[in-house]
Amino acid sequence: MKVIVRILHLPSDVQSGLYEATRTLFVREENKNNDFIQQFLCQQSPLCLSISPYDRATQSLLNKLIRSNVVNNTNQVEVLQRDPNSPLYSVKTFEELRLKPQLLKGVYEMGFNRPSKIQENALPMMLAEPPQNLIAQSQSGTGKTAAFVLAMLSHVDPSLKWPQCLCISPTYELALQTGKVIEQMGKFYSEVKLAYAVRGHKMDRGVKIKEQIVIGTPGTVLDWCVKLKLIDPKKIKVFVLDEADVMIATQGHQDQSIRIQRMLPKGCQMLLFSATFEDSVWKFAERVVPDPNIIKLKREEETLDTIKQYYVLCNSKEDKFNALCNIYGAITIAQAMIFCHTRKTANWLAGQLSKEGHQVALLSGEMVVEQRAAVIERFRDGKEKVLITTNVCARGIDVEQVSVVINFDLPLDKDGNPDNETYLHRIGRTGRFGKRGLAVNMVDSQRSMEILKTYEKHFNKKIGRLDTDDLDEIEKIAN
């Protein structure tokens, strides 16, 4: 598959040049936009615990970088069809989809042996004739990018030399990642070409592009459609809006996306994907995707049934560290994640554990995305047994094969109140695939005890006290 890269300062090989492209982006943005600098500095501050649009996009890119393959996801999928009388159709093999041979070969070349859970349900809808619209909740690692890429490649008519499929992503880097999947899956479909509508390249007005698939960011895509007349939106057959939750958190992207959608023909297939579906995302989705089928992930509260939860009473961070050492001394821990409230505490704890001879990985706010991905890869590969991180760095990042989660500091929202969602997300990293997990919460004040009781009440799960001075008691919790 031929890829036409329309970007300044990008190496000719997009895949191997991703790091350099990202580094160039950071430098360019920091010089251009003071708001970006303030937002970036805010992200590094221990006091800034709210999730920024930049941080959302960073997390999403990081998950894509560390999840080159589909992970085993235990979420149950809920399907809501626009026509409740229509039979619910899912597939267990890619052969059932009757794909073009060159696409099926590309699917297998990428390492997909059978459809993931979301692909089983989404692909029949996306490949249906007449086209069906879809709103889907899906996180990184579920195969959703491969699903909509397969849909775009399947609907393209390679004999027509104009854009037929349009995919918009919230950032330059995320667009490159999606393009990488298109290139890989279309490896044996050489007639189909891809163009990137991202900033950095001056295009001549009115010169129509011939690539059948265009992927880009909302602002540049809008310019290509309206100002430069490079794309005829009335000829678009498939419109994909990826990372909708990141999109609407970024100033201007929501309005630009809606403007693009309104220019598309009535029969254009609309596909929208989002990792989360808070009210703002739903309202946005309803505006851009008419009469949709809906695929949602059922809530994960049931995973708490496989997790033993405990708390430890402490008086100081030194007490917490001693309790942690006692836990490590009494039970065998495969891999653990430890969450701290601030970067300062995380750095201190990493230093203390390293002195004790533990193999420790630290996720730090000043790291660029590729450095964070490298840390997580090493942890996932078992090169380090302990990953220490703050909430800001770890929010939205999933690493499998964790047996123990330690809340060195209990999770709080930006206003300092108990954060139930983050608590669930943290301890839900253990106890997966039917295994027993262990979550230990460090309590060092009356306030933190009140916060713990809030979690206990919210999830209706008893959190027992653990005496870390009693080694026999610690050994029992591991059984």
Claim to verify: residue 254 and residue 361 sit in the same structural domain: no
Claim to verify: residue 46 and residue 178 sit in the same structural domain: yes
All residues at 6 or more sequence positions from 232 whose CB lies less than 8 Å from its CB, including other chains: 162, 163, 208
pLDDT band at 163 (very low <50, low <70, confident <90, very high): very high
| Residue 40: per-residue pLDDT | 32
List the Cα angle 426/448/48 in 5-degree steps.
60
Claim to verify: residue 261 and residue 366 sit in the same structural domain: no
Mean pLDDT (whole number) for 284-298? 88
- Summarised one tens digit per residue, pLDDT across range 201-225 is 677 787 889 999 999 999 999 999 9
Claim to verify: residue 161 and residue 261 sit in the same structural domain: yes
* One-letter identity of residue 446: Q
pLDDT band at 405 (very low <50, low <70, confident <90, very high): very high
Mean pLDDT (whole number) for 257-280? 91
Q: What pTM value is reported for the model?
A: 0.62
Q: Reply yes or no on whether the pLDDT at 57 is more than 80.
A: no
Claim to verify: residue 356 and residue 381 sit in the same structural domain: yes
Question: Mean pLDDT, the chain, as a whole number?
Answer: 80
Claim to verify: residue 36 and residue 166 sit in the same structural domain: yes
Claim to verify: residue 70 and residue 200 sit in the same structural domain: yes
What distances in angstroms separate CA 96 from CA 92, 104, 228, one per listed residue?
A: 8, 11, 42
Yes or no: say if 263 and 227 are a contact pair by the CB < 8 Å rule: no
Q: Is there a cis peptide before residue 130, judged by omega within 30 degrees of 0? A: yes
Claim to verify: residue 347 and residue 377 sit in the same structural domain: yes
Cα separation, 409 vs 414, whole angstroms? 14
Strands 386-390, 360-362: pairing is parallel
Enclosing domain of residue 338 = 301-477
pLDDT band at 301 (very low <50, low <70, confident <90, very high): very low
Higher-confidence residue of 394 and 233: namely 233
Using the 3D structure, point to which of 262, 282, 297 is the last residue of a domain. 297
Q: Euclidean distance between the first and final Cα of the chain, in Å?
A: 53
* 235 burial type by CB count under 10 A (0-12 exposed, 13-18 middle, 19+ buried): middle
Using the 3D structure, point to which of 279, 297, 315 is the last residue of a domain. 297
* 314 burial type by CB count under 10 A (0-12 exposed, 13-18 middle, 19+ buried): buried
With H, G, I as helix, E, B as strand and everything else as coil, classify residue 66.
helix
Claim to verify: residue 234 and residue 324 sit in the same structural domain: no
Claim to verify: residue 320 and residue 252 sit in the same structural domain: no
| Residue 318: per-residue pLDDT | 95
Claim to verify: residue 283 and residue 357 sit in the same structural domain: no
Name the nearest CA neighbour of 339 among 464, 428, 455: 428
CATH number, residue 329:
3.40.50.300
Using the 3D structure, point to which of 238, 271, 297 is the last residue of a domain. 297
Claim to verify: residue 287 and residue 368 sit in the same structural domain: no
Tally of domains within the chain: 2
253 dihedral zone (left: phi>0; alpha: psi -120 to 50; beta): alpha
All residues at 6 or more sequence positions from 146 whose CB lies less than 8 Å from its CB, including other chains: 70, 107, 110, 112, 119, 181, 185
